[in-house]
């Protein structure tokens, strides 16, 4: 095992090679090769981050298996280390998932480093856990992808209802609960995944019972509830829009396996169909995709469950335009919007993509247009008219999922595509380029 405690207290530990951003910030893709073989689906990026934060709720060991080697995991590990949490991980195959063990027996809730907080939106989850465990937290406003306003109002309002005293001045959140948090009835204005997770983390150690209404029902929220219950939390209504949480005085340790990444699953299924390949997505199931599965099948993505995973191919009828509207679970995931748009760019006919979750999540459109895509945006709806083929170009990944869309486009395009801004892709995907390269395409990371 390699330990964070043996490394200098720097922004990112140098104790493990994967813990640093890859200096090769460009991805070169020679298009036109179909995907084939096996592609292992990693642990879910959107699930592992709140699971890591849950370690703050107990002095006992929290061990997480199937942890993706993503940059967000590295940054959150560094944040937790700065708060006094011992973080260690399994050494071994550099391409295999991590096993992380966290020990928060000596938490010191000083001001959380701005340089780290500004790198990831999920750092806001530290607020609820620190208030519950330590009665105080001080942190800058979080950063992350620029895909919309994504305010923290729902988080702060819910924590205030539980007794927290919170001020927000000059971009700094100062929160205190000197007498501890108490149970409350909270109705979210929108089923925000982050706000639901934050209030869950706070409520499990609050005094009394909390009723959370209009909560997010995403599988990643269910995964967090499952882990917290294994730690001793009392939660009812899991998977529904209302959660009842009876606060406990203390929680225990846990060994928990992170759920597979449904967004990576959908992304690579789109890539397989777009390239005309056939690939086994190891660990994938139709259930993970939810309503996205039949919608992708309508677009020409053939999906078939087999022992060990999900086979994705291009359907015999080819790719066709469809209409997609993003919605909270059980609706079509906003994180699959950009990869699906890349697929529609080379489908027969026209399709539409309507984004209802984030107001600025079409930044990939201009980059796809550079490759020959025909897309018209009106408000929150993009009209995509399929073309026979895209052409390679130099493009920029502006956020995690936009980067994935450009990878799909590059895999199908004529000629070479050069994608800049791979740090965005590294935030959300575990070794995407390396895993794809093992499935046939010619692609490599480079510096220019």
Query: Which residues are identified as catalytic?
Result: 145
β-bridge partners, 34:
none
Q: In what order do the strands lie in the sheet with 242-246?
A: 185-187, 209-213, 242-246, 234-236
Tell me if residue 398 falls in helix, strand or coil. coil
Sign (positive or negative) of CA dihedral 409, 282, 264, 113:
negative
Whether 381 and 408 have beta carbons less than 8 Å apart is answered as: no
Parallel, antiparallel, or unpaired: how do β-strands 98-103 and 61-67 relate? antiparallel
Sign (positive or negative) of CA dihedral 117, 122, 124, 130:
negative
Q: Is 223 annotated as a binding residue?
A: no
Q: Is 45 annotated as a binding residue?
A: yes
Q: Is 335 annotated as a binding residue?
A: yes
What whole-number distance in Å separates Cα of residue 29 and Cα of residue 45? 24
Q: Is 435 annotated as a binding residue?
A: no
Whether 54 and 133 have beta carbons less than 8 Å apart is answered as: no
Which segments within 52-93 are labelled E, that is strand? 61-67, 86-89
Q: Is 46 annotated as a binding residue?
A: yes
What whole-number distance in Å separates Cα of residue 242 and Cα of residue 12? 38
Q: What is the DSSP string of 85-123?
A: -EEEE--S-TTSPEEEEEE-SS----PPPHHHHTT-GGG
Q: Which residue has the tokens 């994935």?
A: 404
Q: Where is the binding site, in residues?
A: 45-46, 121, 335, 357
Q: Where is the binding site for UDP-N-acetyl-alpha-D-glucosamine, in residues?
A: 121, 335, 357
Q: Where is the binding site for phosphoenolpyruvate, in residues?
A: 45-46
């Amino acid at each position: 095992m390699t330990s964070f405690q043996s490394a200098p207290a720097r922004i990112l530990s140098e104790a493990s090679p994967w813990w640093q951003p890859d200096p090769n910030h460009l991805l070169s893709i020679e298009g036109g090769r179909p995907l084939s073989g096996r592609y292992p689906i990693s642990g879910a990026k959107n699930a592992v981050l709140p699971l890591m934060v849950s370690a703050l709720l107990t002095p006992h060991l929290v061990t997480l298996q199937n942890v993706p080697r993503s940059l967000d995991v590295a940054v959150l590990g560094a944040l937790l280390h700065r708060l006094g949490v011992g973080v260690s991980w399994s050494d071994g195959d550099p391409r295999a998932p991590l096993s992380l063990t966290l020990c928060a027996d000596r938490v010191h809730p000083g001001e959380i480093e701005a340089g780290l907080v500004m790198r990831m939106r999920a750092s806001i989850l530290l607020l609820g856990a620190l208030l519950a465990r330590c009665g105080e937290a001080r942190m800058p406003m979080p950063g992350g992808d620029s895909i919309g306003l994504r305010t923290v109002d729902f988080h702060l309002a819910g924590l205030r209802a539980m007794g927290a005293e919170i001020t927000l001045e000059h971009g700094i959140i100062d929160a205190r609960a000197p007498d501890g948090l108490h149970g409350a009835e909270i109705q979210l204005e929108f089923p925000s995944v982050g706000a639901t997770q934050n209030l869950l983390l706070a409520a499990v150690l609050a005094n009394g019972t909390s009723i959370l209404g209009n909560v997010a029902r995403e599988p990643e929220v269910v995964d967090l509830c499952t882990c917290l219950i294994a730690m001793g939390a009392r939660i009812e209504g899991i998977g529904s829009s209302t959660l009842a949480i009876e606060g406990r005085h203390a929680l225990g340790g846990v060994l928990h396996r992170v759920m597979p990444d449904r967004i990576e699953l959908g992304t690579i299924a789109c890539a397989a169909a777009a390239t005309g390949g056939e690939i086994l997505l190891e660990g994938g199931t139709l259930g993970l995709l939810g309503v996205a599965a039949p919608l992708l099948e309508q677009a020409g993505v053939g999906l078939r469950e087999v022992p060990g995973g999900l086979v994705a191919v291009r359907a015999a009828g080819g790719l066709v335009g469809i209409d997609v509207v993003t919605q909270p679970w059980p609706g079509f995931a906003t994180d699959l919007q950009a990869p699906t748009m890349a697929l529609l760019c080379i489908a027969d006919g026209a399709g539409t993509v309507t984004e209802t979750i984030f107001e600025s999540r079409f930044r990939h459109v201009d980059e796809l247009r550079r490759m020959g895509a025909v897309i018209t945006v009106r408000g929150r709806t993009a009209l995509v008219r399929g073309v026979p083929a895209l052409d390679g170009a130099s493009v920029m990944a502006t956020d995690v999922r936009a980067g994935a869309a450009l990878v799909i486009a590059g895999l199908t395009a004529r000629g070479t595509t050069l994608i800049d801004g791979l740090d965005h892709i590294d935030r959300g995907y575990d070794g995407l380029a390396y895993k794809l390269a093992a499935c046939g395409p010619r692609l490599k990371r480079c510096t220019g």
